[in-house]
Structure 1
Amino acid sequence: MAIKTIVESDISGQSDAATVTFGLGNTWFEVDLTEDEQKELEQALAPFVKAGRKAGQSTKKKRATPETTVEERAKIRTWAREQGHEVTEFGRIPRKIIDAYREAHKKSDQT
């Protein structure tokens, strides 16, 4: 003897529905929808799906942090001020200043 399971739409009550899972915020939902209702849901969400990304993926670029010691950062800050650059006492030193410092000291090391 065979057993047939009929899934009805949670929206219209029509048979031949299938379970659809989707998330919003931190909550996951399941709803039984017919094929037409699934297409309607997909069309409604299309602009958000197009603009979004899969969870766990980020479009932010990771900043490369130059490997410097505390002492080297202090020397860079002192040199930068002597060269007329504005640098903060603490925090991130702009990459262009680090590059300029290294370029200036590379030349002086070769002489």
Structure 2
Amino acid sequence: MAKQIQEILIDDLDGGEANETVSFAIDGASYEIDLSVDNAKKLRDALSPFQQAARKSGAAATRRRARGGTRSMSREQSSEIRQWAKAHGLPVSERGRIASTVVEKYQAAH
């Protein structure tokens, strides 16, 4: 039997579909956030005045992942995995990306 798993990236701000993961750092902490094209532009526009006035420090590893033909999960499968994870005592958020370790454990069990 063939099985296809789709992973859908969810915008961490508004819950819609996200197109990319944006990385940024402030006060020594690095962050990643999954955003739609519009929300990513809003973030970059908001940070632009500070970025232009700032100086670069060190070689930060920047990575921005555009989502295209990658595997994505249906909402139904995401929901199923979340329910399974909760039933098995695994930490899983109500929305957003499901940790790959959780998905791997789910796949191994099914």
Q: Which fold has the larger relative contact order, with Cα–Cα distance below 8 Å and residues 6 or more apart in sequence?
A: 2
* Higher fraction of helix: 1
| Structure having the higher Rg | 1
TM-score normalised per structure 2: 0.47
TM-score normalised per structure 1: 0.47
